[in-house]
Structure 1
Amino acid sequence: MTSLIEGPSAVALDLVHVPDVRGAQRPRVFTAPSYTSTAGQEAVELAAVAGLMLDEWQQFALHVGLGERPDGSWSAFEVAVNVARQNGKGGIIEARELAGLFLLGERLILHSAHEFKTSVEAFRRIVALVTNTDSLRKRVKAVRKTTGEEAIELLTGQRLRFLARSGGSGRGFTGNCNILDEDMILGDDAMGALMPTMAAVQDPQVWYLGSAGIGAPSQQLARLRRRALAAMERGEPDPSLAYMEWSIDPHVKECPPGCTNHDDPRSPLSVAKANPALGYRLTLEHTERERLTMSEEIFARERLGVGDYPSDGTDTWQVIAEDAWRALTDGDSSMSDPVVFAIDVTPERSHASICAAGQSGQAVHVEVIDNRPGTGWVVERARELTEKWGPRCWVVDAGSPAGSLLDDLKRALRREQDGEAESWGDADDVPLLAPVVTPKVREIAQATGQLYDAVVAGQIVHLDQAPLATALAGARKRELGEAWAWSRRTVGVDISPLVAVTLARWGLAAEIEEPEEEVEPWADFG
């Protein structure tokens, strides 16, 4: 889970002593195919004629997106600009549409947004730019303002149409260029309606523009981003995608104090990295007010570009191979004492898991005991399992979403206070039916590596349970310096069974602190 801010988040920064900070004009996440020429400069100059003065980063996006191969065709079939709101992505859209109409000769440009009102507002802005520029206005045949039919048509036949991505809008149109605004809300249905419109077009292009991913609705954006990250990892550009993302690389909860490998969300430099318009049309004072008002997670998403990007199921079993996992299935396996239980909860608290680990011959048997919606059932179930199995310990990551259950778990595991229990004093002194262990950050990384190594060595057995297999299929790594742990925020599946199994296996060899015996006063003083 991402740890966004260390220390009190509601403490205002002293902006008086902050030096002049300007937004980064180049994206942190970037890939683009090579090009020999570009129509970007012509697009920038045309926009200026219409009174639209573009920042350096906006010009960069147009130069890259309108890059051309030696034969004059587009170097990038898809162009994506992922940047926080109020930075000026609308200017890129308007410049691209002006270029398509008046420079590039594109017969039909389709502009769509998730919400119709957003599409209409974009229509009004481009109409104002065109009608207020004599050299452009005289080339216009008609401006159609009928609701649902908004369009600009030139005397030479080029058209720019505005649509909402609903009800199959866009089907039947053959667009030379598709402009997909609000791409963080763009799923398979919309792509199915719009992409086939380009099949019969020579040298088409599609532009995606929006802000950080918001989870399940961001299916298409997540696909584009994965392609970009994969290209960066292998050091080779994606052959048909130009992807530009302004964002920070946030701290994770396992980061040690003073970590310099990730960006501090309270730093003005982080705001600058994710907001190219900072110092131009966006001020630190405004972003600081946003930070004080928003939750940490929302501020990180809306202003710092920290998105939630779902998996689409096409890139499964990336960490542990499916064949390797299935080969360890043993339907007759069972655990011998001592057993260890562990609890994990999803970041959204939508599901929780209780898992167990115990020896099974020379291997360790891992098993999902319960995986259910919500968290209200966990503590009572933990008491039942403890009374039945007498486990070696329970393992809970105190820094995870499951950490909020620790106090209730310990209360539920206290021994009944009867008979000699009166001498135990306060309730906190009552012995637990089973110890509760909370691993440190380095131990969590060790636990993940140990599980991985055990699978590779064939030292794990399991019952091939669906919740655990699903978690492994969607599992991703989260780098922790030179080690790694399971990533929670970059997957679209419930990985709580996998995290709990990892912790339970680790708990079999974890050191358990024995409670100190209270020494009677006369034992010390004779």
Structure 2
Amino acid sequence: MTSSLLDVRRGSQTPRVSTYPPAGLSSGPDIADLSEAAGLVLDPWQRYVLDHGMGERPDGKWAAREVACWVPRQNGKGALIEARVLAGLFLLGEKRILWSAHEYKTAQEGFLRIRELIQSAPDFDRLVKRYWEGSGEQGVELTTGQRLKFIARSKGSGRGFSGDCIILDEAQELTLLQMKALFSTMSAKSIHGNPQIWYLGTPPEDPAAWVYGIRKDGEAGKARLAYFDWGLGDVDPTVSLKARLESYQDRELWYRANPGLGIRISEEFCEDELSRLREGFAPERLGMWLPYAGDEDAGWQVIGQPAWMAAQNVGSQMEGQPAVAVYVPPDRSYAAIGLAGAAAGGGRHVEVAGNGQVLDYRPGTRWVVPRLKELEKHSPSVLVIDDKALADEAEEAGLVVHRATAPDVVTGCQLLYDGISGPDVAGRDVRHIGQPELTDAVRGAVKRDVGGSWAWARRDLAVDVTPLAAVSLALFGHSTPRVHRQKAQPFFGSWR
């Protein structure tokens, strides 16, 4: 007689690390019931994540604004995502749901699976208005107007999509720039809506990946973050590879790290995997993280922190005719508008342009020229643009543009450096107002060679120097009378 499924050993259904905010109620049980109506029967571990990740506060909002789940491959992560997405469409009434993955094929597989689940449940299927495929995107639209969109992440994907729920599959591949774009889409929902972001994946191959920050916050029990990690901790590089490979043969470790072992993964498969992957077995099957290689203290390599803080004056204001500049990085993921001018009371002033609390440092470039036209009311002394396409667009819109050359960019960088921390103490007359985005850029900036000189570059992929490059270019414009407009009229008023 064959053994029943209850007699088969299964992997651990609770994670090694589990932190989540307290909640009075949870939508988890209802989500599991709804999924079962579509033929999706969840494992106990998947229910565990939903129960604690979908907890609700007394005001009806999610206790966890962010949910992170790290589990080795093929354990059933996809079914967990499918359950969350079905709930968004058919239980929670979420208007916009984004499911993104690092690779197109992963996003496409998610779409096909969701379509199959919906079509298998007549009560769900009759609520579908259409399915669509094309232009690298797939999606589902309900008769209620709700939409589920599938995309493969690129340098700028996710821009402009304001979602109630954002699923970030293969989260180990996320970059800082992608997260800036996605968080900007969530900001509109943060006060009156009830948004939630899900991170799901395996430990990254890059030991300085962005998600190490999520891991740090999760293990510390950060508020509004539900965190679940089935992995066995860190790889210990002080132990020899031979000794590590021997330890990986311990089947007890396999069961601790893989909730799907005995359900959808076999011991035989793990044996084959270990023989083929060797050291790769640790992150892939044991969910182990490489020691973090990012250096949190590696910043301030060009302009020192003491000098930058000494130049900060939150009350500083510009007067006269400011210079306006636009910088766009090579990947065109973001753009920034920088300002520079004479500081009231003496010296020079730089800042990232903005309107109230919204900075002109945003994803993409389509917003730039309309915003520049708005800034014309301030009669800038010069408009400097370091991007041919944007310069063409601005001129077509009737703006007078100085097209920055490589020497102009270099000059702006050196003017800012000298004005903040140059060798001539008397020449350190540049002031800023302490904008966090600009400070982050200064902290993470390094030098890149340009001919016999240098310009700004980022220390690593977790840094974006766009705001710094924009204000440096503006400082070039302000400090170079030969590029000024001939008939600009001074504007006296506040920029903020």
TM-score, length basis structure 2: 0.55
Given the alignment, which residue of 183, 190, 193 partners 2:181?
Answer: 193
Matches within 5 A, 1:413-428: none
Alpha-carbon distance between aligned partners in 2 of 1:164 and 1:39, rounded to the nearest angstrom? 28
**Match for residue 197 of structure 2 among 199, 206, 230:** 206
Percent of residue pairs identical: 43
The answer to whether the 8 Å contact 2:170/2:201 transfers is: yes
Distance 1:87 1:273 in 2: 12
Determine if contact 1:218/1:309 at 8 Å carries over to the other structure.
Answer: no
Match of 1:481 in 2: none
Confirm or deny: 8 A CA contact 2:155 2:178 kept in the other structure: no
1:274 touches 1:303 (CA, 8 Å); kept in 2? yes
**Residues 367-446 of structure 1: matches in 2 within 5 Å?**
none
Secondary structure class of the residue paired with 1:207: strand
Aligned to 1:410: none
Matches within 5 A, 1:36-115: 36-115=24-103
Greater Rg over alpha carbons, structure: 1
User: Shift of the alpha carbon at 1:316?
Assistant: 6.6
The 1:211–1:253 alpha-carbon spacing in structure 2 relative to 1, beyond 3 Å, is: closer
**In structure 2, C-alpha distance between the alignment counterparts of 1:300 and 1:59, rounded to whole Å:** 26
Provide the rounded CA distance (Å) in 1 between the counterparts of 2:223 and 2:229.
18
Contact preservation (8 Å) 1:180, 1:208: yes
**For each residue in 1:450-497, what CA deviation from the matched residue of structure 2 results, as whole angstroms up to 9, or x when unmatched?**
xxxxxxxxxxxxxxxxxxxxxxx9xxxxxxxxxxxxxxxxxx9xxxxx
Alignment of 1:420-499 (within 5 A): none
CA distance in 2, matches of 1:300, 1:264: 10
Q: Using the TM superposition, give the Cα deviation of residue 80 of structure 1 relative to its aligned residue in structure 2, in angstroms.
A: 0.5
C-alpha spacing 1:88/1:103, structure 2 compared with 1 (3 Å):
same
Per-residue Cα deviation, 1:372-427 (whole angstroms, up to 9, x for no partner): xxxxxxxxxxxxxxxxxxxxxxxxxxxxxxxxxxxxxxxxxxxxxxxxxxxxxxxx
For the residues of structure 1 that align with 2:188 and 2:293, how far apart are their CA atoms?
30
Q: Shift in Å at residue 132 of structure 1?
A: 1.5
The residue number in structure 1 matching 2:125 is 137
2:56 partner letter? E
Contact 1:77 1:241 in 2 (8 A): yes
2:154 pairs with one of 149, 166, 176: 166
Alignment-mate amino acid for residue 141 of structure 1: K
> Cα RMSD between the aligned structures?
3.0
Q: Which deviations, in whole Å up to 9, do the C-alpha atoms of 1:346-391 show, x marking residues without a partner?
A: xxxxxxxxxxxxxxxxxxxxxxxxxxxxxxxxxxxxxxxxxxxxxx
1:220-256 deviations in Å (ceiling 9; x for gaps): x211101122x2xxxxx32111110111246746679
- Partners of 1:132 and 1:183 lie apart in 2 by 29
Give the gaps of 5 or more residues in structure 1: 1-18, 232-236, 324-472, 474-491, 493-526
Amino acid at match of 1:213: P
Instruction: State how far apart, in whole Å, the 1-side matches of 2:45 and 2:297 are.
Output: 32
Residue 24 of structure 1 deviates from its aligned partner by 0.6
TM-score by length of 1: 0.52
Q: Partner amino acid for 1:294?
A: L
State the SS of the aligned residue for 2:100: strand
Residue of structure 1 in register with 2:284 after alignment? 302
**What CA deviation, in whole Å up to 9, does each residue of 1:10-67 have, x standing for no partner?**
xxxxxxxxx9642011111221111111001111111100001110001111111111
Distance in 1 between the 2:179 and 2:74 partners?
A: 26
**2:238 is the counterpart of 1:238:** no
Secondary structure in 2 aligned to 1:173?
coil
AA aligned opposite 1:120: Q
Deviations 1:414-442 (A, max 9, x none): xxxxxxxxxxxxxxxxxxxxxxxxxxxxx
Structure 1 position 173, deviation (Å): 1.3
- Equivalents in 1 of 2:141, 2:180: separation in Å? 26
Question: Could you tell me which of 109, 112, 120 is aligned with 1:121?
Answer: 109
Residues 277, 74 of structure 1: alpha-carbon distance in 2 compared, 3 angstrom cutoff: same
User: Residue 218 of structure 2: which of 215, 228, 233 is its match?
Assistant: 228
Query: Paired residues, what number?
Result: 294
**Aligned twin of 1:266:** 249
Q: How does 1:290-369 map to 2 (within 5 A)?
A: 290-295=273-278, 297-308=279-290, 310=292, 313-314=295-296
Deviation at 1:119, TM superposition (A): 0.6
Three-state SS of the structure 1 residue aligned to 2:209 is helix
What's the offset of the Cα at 1:312? Answer: 5.1
Distance change in 2, residues 1:114/1:251 (3 Å): closer
